[in-house]
Structure 1
Amino acid sequence: MEEYNIRNIRNFSIIAHIDHGKSTLADRLLEITHTVAQRDMQEQLLDAMDLERERGITIKAHPVTMNYHDKDGQVYQINFIDTPGHVDFSYEVSRSLSACEGALLVVDASQGVQAQTLANVHLALDRNLEIIPILNKIDLPAADPPEVLRQIEEVIGLETGNAVSVSAKTGIGIPEILDRIVHNMPHPKEPEDDLLRALVFDSHYDTYRGVMVYIRVFSGEIKKGSVIKMIATDKTFEVQEVGIFTPHEKVKTSLRPGEVGYLIANIKNTGDVKIGDTVTELKKPAPKPLPGFKNITPVVFAGIYPVDSSDFEALRDALTKLQLNDSALHIEQESSMALGFGFRCGFLGLLHLEIVFERLQREFDLDIISTAPSVIYKCLMKDGKIMDIDSPAHYPDPSHIEIIEEPWVTCHIMVPSDFLGSVMNLCNEKRSNLEKTETLSSTRLHLTYKMPLNEIITDFNDKLKSITKGYGSFDYEFDKYKESDIIKLEIRVNDEPVDAFSCLVHRSKAESKGRALCAKLKDVIPRQLFKIPIQAAIGGKIVARETISALAKNVTAKCYGGDISRKRKLWEKQKKGKKKMKEIGKVSIPQNAFMEVLKTEE
């Protein structure tokens, strides 16, 4: 049992853009502190999901406790709190950073500062963390350390005097990082009193033991048998086990101030644990919670439907299981005339949507489709009520609406200067306003735009990557709701509205969107024995139309010679038949037509 001394504890996390080598660096730290035996080592040890490994991103955070013996024989307990790197999870990142006193800023020496690094560094600076810049991949031929150091100083405004140059792959400079963590980062503050205060920075669901809560203790002591209370949810539990991660769970008798670990308290429902909540004792509670807690609200909504309606139960079970490990996923049941029963799901952003969609397909082997993603619009009605609308089905009667507001975001885009023109064209198509342009280096620019969120969520990232040949990176944060001219675009097939294709769009985009949808439907709906009009309508006004021509029999084939009136008579008879058929005929849109159209929208 190592002796406890708060001065020998260091808590840190790593901030990095996707693929700048964060997980590899974590592997090396685990190796050099002998936390993981050589035989158990594998690449990206902390990224447990296949998806994380394939895409090179961290989705779930994993804490690890390492013991480090320095040259003077002192033993330090170093807690590494891993954070997801992507903008969608920025609240989780902010909670993980609140549990630390320092952070390593990892920047790829060949790529320089990227957009997401910038956003997360500001989160760390706001919390007054001690930041140590680390230049990774210095063994690459394209590495340019002096230029990247200059960028860190100018763009982020950090002193780079204590920067460390490393190569996480080959292990160069790793001992120096540990040395910096121990000597440059502050130890946790001494607690003012002995009331229990612990920050919940993550949780995951264990099938056998219920919810496992990841905590960082700020004051007091938590041990088996403590009766605890969650301040935000006001729930009480009895602790059954506490421990630390070495990456695997290791039971301890208690967790004391400054330490990072987990607690298990027979919590059945994940809704009882909120990230950012404060754990305190029931008998002697802390008077107020730790700062910074907020309820996570979904930003992007999409419908998820099973392709085969008999998979509905399986889809429901799968979504409930995902929700156990992902408290930010919001689910409610809905049904659509065209697609049958399904779920309306709320996500933190596009990447979150993609990951949930992919996990449903892979881990649960489900065949599903998703409708086009939409954001939440705020409608101020004439009677003073405010409605939140996340799908076209809930859109109220336009004559009752006073104003509609849509969410705007501040968007940071980093691009090589050669692509400036094409990136600006792309942003102008998206109804954006350029706020400022900064030069990062002779070849790279940082553009700050304000733009509506619904313009970003469909295809902005893909287009940005393709026009900048993969070198552009972007990141966004919510700005505010602004008044906007949002209308419901309705698609009618044979004068019947089809709810699955309806969408909420800005008036300036309605016509082009309507045309694209009508043209696509013309290709995928099979021809009938009568003409089918396909129309895009705003209220009562038709803005686009395509017609599917009828399958027709040549009724005059048997006429040869003779008077034209015989032919006319037959044509008239045919016309009457078609007219009668159109009155009683219904157009059934095949399932694959829905698939095709929803795919093109993506």
Structure 2
Amino acid sequence: MQPCLRLARPGASVLRRRSQASLAASAVVCSRSAPGGHYRSCRDSRCIGLAQWQARSFTATARSSADNTSTPSKPSTPSPSPSPSIPLAFTSSPSPLPINPSSNTSRQPRPTKDPILLEQRIASIPIERFRNFCIVAHIDHGKSTLSDRLLELTGTISPGDGNKQILDKLDVERERGITVKAQTCTMIYRYKGLDYLLHLVDTPGHVDFRAEVTRSYASCGGALLLVDASQGIQAQTVANFYHAFSLGLGLIPVVNKVDLPTADVPRALQQLHDTFELDVDQENSNNGAVLVSAKTGKNVEAILPAVIERIPPPVGDALAPAPRILLVDSWYDNFRGVVLLVRVFEGTIRAGDHVVSMATGSKYTVGEVGIQYPEGIAQPTLRAGQVGYVFFNPGMKKIHDAKIGDTFTTVGNELTVEPYPGFEEPKPMVFVAAFPTDQGDYTRLSDSIQQLTLNDRSITLQKDHSEALGAGWRLGFLGSLHCSVFQDRLRQEHGASVIITEPAVPVMLRKRDGTERVLTSAADFPEADEARSRGFEYFEPFVSATITVPEEYLGRVITLCENSRGEQQSIDFIGSAAQTAKGPDTPGTLAEATTAADDDGTAPVKTASPTSSLGSIQVILKYSLPSMALVDDLFGKLKGVSRGYATLDYEDPTWRSSDLVKLQLLVNKQPVDAISRVMHRSQLDRVGRHWVSKFKEHVDRQMFEVIIQATAGRRIVARETIKPFRKDVLAKLHASDITRRQKLLSKQKAGRKRLTAVGNVTIEHTAFQKFLSK
């Protein structure tokens, strides 16, 4: 039961902002109390509940007149005021997160959204107590859930059951249950009596969004390497580790989901040690792994002390005369225009400063600066070491003036500031064409696409045109999931109705004189006769793929890769059955976590059974795979043959000579340019038969015969025929002469032939939508 606060000053309708101590001294305890608010019988409009008082950051307002008319109950005698030696401000109920006695015992201040209080606290923190870090892991290992617990632990958000993926702000993220955009948040954490300013970045886990992770590293000094205790190290875990390691980031291994019945903590620790040579010794509290359950909050409080102790602070001089600001991300706001997410390396930026872009030379006036907490809160300044948002007044005239990796400085210092090297441009691997279902919506679709590409610079954009579908856009993505998410965002955030063509990968054409050209559309692919006469040579991209899979599914995965024209490069086995059964010696934090679980009544951490996902040897396969295989749903096939246990990651592709042809669809010998694709010759028969049979289902019958063909050069790969509507011209003849019957039938046949010659098959846009949908 939480006490009810009654204002000691009679007649005061509104409390002004005061310090915690002064407000506690002016409050008394009412004998009537109720959880989370004032007691219903309390008719004093100036009485507020303790929980509400905390949430308002020690700022109380008068209750509404509705509270004055609440139903009275039996009055009671107020209890005496508490002893002055016990501050009322610290009489709240215990935190729902379990507290480890060996961890930080400093009491965290109450959550506050007040810009003035935040400004005062942040201004008192020197750069030596800044920490910028991100959470990286394979998909579905618990990054967003762990972010929620850290936000609760630092008081950035109030604890509650409704805190689920707070930093996943897009509808498509909540719908699919994955992180698509790297999201940032500033936190203030009290450790050993001192405030620390922490900047957290929650990153995506799928390989298609690796560009988001790369940009996140630029604003961080370290990372939490998160591993699922029931799944162990997976493909994206390996990729994230080596990328962070190459940049010199401090890495803290964190094993999550230790509360699951199938969790195999010793095995996960052994994999971290064997694969990455990380120190996971639990006796070494300075370098050991942290064992947590982000869902229940168990041992999460041990993470932030590790961040403070093991991740270095950013380097920079807030008093530098020439600011050096890196543009990390951007998005579009309907009221503010283009909003920039920046990392300040040197100097200070504030509203009213005149800044210049070192990439474009454009000059702007800063309208507002602030931090993400987790929503945007305006601040007077952003100092060296901080990450926050900036928007200009007036705003940027063109959306694409916001170039990711650009450096900003104040006007007049362009020659004295060295620009940041920027980011490597991601290379699109999948290309599609997007057309509006109604050509009248082309302008609206163009605006929507450009606003979304402002928030995702890994997408390439150029105009396109189709005879069947009209004007549209050719878009380049990092993968099939990336393309699918973009289409969902168009539909959900902008209400756009679009037709997306078959995904295709880029191919390279080399001529006899050695000149090369990259083709991103099947329409640009030369005809077979022209290619043969001119001696063109074609190349397709091959990626270096890393696949992790339990040993029992190894044979199926190898067969799938071989059937996809893959070439094995290496194979490594992690751990052994003996190590799985015995496990490494794990005293310290592991024992404490297990003991804490027993004390609070939940099941302790258990070693996985032989049938669990970690019950066998994990195998890391490296294959050279064609990018076309990735477009052809290799992810789904891999999950199918491994019952969901296999994971896949890949690196940027390289070119290899290949036997490529263009497959296109003909309707009554007329090509349908919206349905064509470049592929390897070995795929022609399978894809051609699938195309004609599927397209036949979506074309209406006509008064004449409709022939659907899949062709590659002069070769007809597959064919389907839609029979015409038939009129019975013999219905009225009865027992007439046979020659009369033959005359009527031949006349009908000639009429159909003339109709076929002059008739056009009209294919509705809905037919393309249904055909191109998976």
- TM-score, normalised to structure 1, is 0.92
Q: Which residue of 2 aligns with 1:353?
A: 483
After superposition, residues 282-293 of structure 1 pair within 5 angstroms as 282-285=411-414, 286-293=416-423
Deviates more, 1:408-417 or 1:584-593: 584-593
Alignment partners' CA distance in 1, 2:731 and 2:176 = 62
Tell me: CA distance 1:262–1:523, structure 2 relative to 1, closer, same or farther (3 Å): closer
C-alpha deviations, 1:480-539, integer Å up to 9, x for none? 122222222122121111112221111221232222212223343334344433222222
For 1:22, the aligned partner's letter is K
Out of 404, 407, 410, the residue aligned to residue 538 of structure 2 is 404
C-alpha deviations, 1:174-230, integer Å up to 9, x for none? 221111111122222356993432322222222222322222222233333333233
Q: Which residue of 2 aligns with 1:145?
A: 265
Out of 266, 273, 281, the residue aligned to residue 410 of structure 2 is 281
Name whichever structure is richer in strand by fraction. 1
Q: Is the 8 A contact 1:13 1:81 kept in 2?
A: yes
Deviates more, 1:8-17 or 1:249-258: 249-258
After superposition, residues 112-151 of structure 1 pair within 5 angstroms as 112-151=232-271
Tell me: CA distance 1:571–1:478, structure 2 relative to 1, closer, same or farther (3 Å): same
Q: Is the 8 A contact 2:324 2:345 kept in 1?
A: yes
Q: Which residue of 1 aligns with 2:525?
A: 395
Alignment partners' CA distance in 1, 2:203 and 2:243 = 12
Q: Which residue of 1 aligns with 2:564?
A: 430
For 1:85, the aligned partner's letter is G
C-alpha deviations, 1:446-486, integer Å up to 9, x for none? 22111121221232222222332222221222121222222
Q: Is the 8 A contact 1:61 1:202 kept in 2?
A: no
C-alpha deviations, 1:83-130, integer Å up to 9, x for none? 222222222311211221111111111111122222112211111111
Out of 284, 299, 304, the residue aligned to residue 178 of structure 1 is 304
Matched, 1:226 2:353: yes
Secondary structure of the residue aligned to 1:240 is strand
Alignment partners' CA distance in 1, 2:425 and 2:480 = 19
Tell me: CA distance 1:530–1:179, structure 2 relative to 1, closer, same or farther (3 Å): same
Alignment partners' CA distance in 2, 1:106 and 1:200 = 27
Q: Is the 8 A contact 1:233 1:273 kept in 2?
A: no
C-alpha deviations, 1:253-280, integer Å up to 9, x for none? 3333222222222342331222222233
Secondary structure of the residue aligned to 1:359 is helix
Q: Which residue of 2 aligns with 1:251?
A: 378
Matched, 1:90 2:210: yes
Q: Which has the larger radius of gyration?
A: 2
Alignment partners' CA distance in 2, 1:360 and 1:223 = 34
Secondary structure of the residue aligned to 2:549 is strand
Alignment partners' CA distance in 1, 2:370 and 2:635 = 41
Q: Is the 8 A contact 2:181 2:212 kept in 1?
A: no
After superposition, residues 106-505 of structure 1 pair within 5 angstroms as 106-161=226-281, 162-189=288-315, 194=320, 195-266=322-393, 267-268=395-396, 269-285=398-414, 286-382=416-512, 385-397=515-527, 398-399=530-531, 400=534, 402-441=536-575, 442-505=616-679
Alignment partners' CA distance in 2, 1:86 and 1:230 = 32
For 2:405, the aligned partner's letter is G
C-alpha deviations, 1:544-600, integer Å up to 9, x for none? 23333444445556677798666555544444333333323333334443233212x
Q: Which residue of 2 aligns with 1:55?
A: 176
Tell me: CA distance 1:235–1:452, structure 2 relative to 1, closer, same or farther (3 Å): farther
Tell me: CA distance 1:77–1:496, structure 2 relative to 1, closer, same or farther (3 Å): same
For 2:695, the aligned partner's letter is L
Deviates more, 1:258-267 or 1:186-195: 186-195
Q: Is the 8 A contact 1:98 1:127 kept in 2?
A: no
Q: Is the 8 A contact 2:569 2:624 kept in 1?
A: yes
Percent identity (aligned): 42
Alignment partners' CA distance in 2, 1:205 and 1:593 = 34
Q: Please state how far the C-alpha of 1:135 moved relative to its aligned partner.
A: 0.8
After superposition, residues 503-582 of structure 1 pair within 5 angstroms as 503-553=677-727, 555=729, 568-582=742-756
Q: Which residue of 2 aligns with 1:64?
A: 185
Secondary structure of the residue aligned to 1:498 is strand
Q: Please state how far the C-alpha of 1:60 moved relative to its aligned partner.
A: 2.1
Gaps (5+ residues) in structure 1?
none
Alignment partners' CA distance in 1, 2:403 and 2:748 = 68
Alignment partners' CA distance in 2, 1:318 and 1:341 = 15
Deviates more, 1:552-561 or 1:236-245: 552-561
For 1:322, the aligned partner's letter is L
C-alpha deviations, 1:349-400, integer Å up to 9, x for none? 2222111111222233333331111122222344654333221222234334
Deviates more, 1:509-518 or 1:39-48: 39-48
Q: How many residues in Structure 1 have an aligned counterpart in Structure 2?
A: 599
Matched, 1:35 2:156: yes
Gaps (5+ residues) in structure 2?
1-119, 282-287, 576-615
Q: Which residue of 1 aligns with 2:771?
A: 597
Q: Which residue of 2 aligns with 1:14?
A: 135
Q: Is the 8 A contact 2:425 2:458 kept in 1?
A: no
Q: Is the 8 A contact 1:270 1:327 kept in 2?
A: no
Alignment partners' CA distance in 1, 2:323 and 2:443 = 43
Out of 187, 194, 201, the residue aligned to residue 74 of structure 1 is 194
Q: Is the 8 A contact 2:228 2:256 kept in 1?
A: yes
Secondary structure of the residue aligned to 2:653 is strand
Q: Is the 8 A contact 1:135 1:165 kept in 2?
A: yes
Q: Which residue of 2 aligns with 1:101?
A: 221
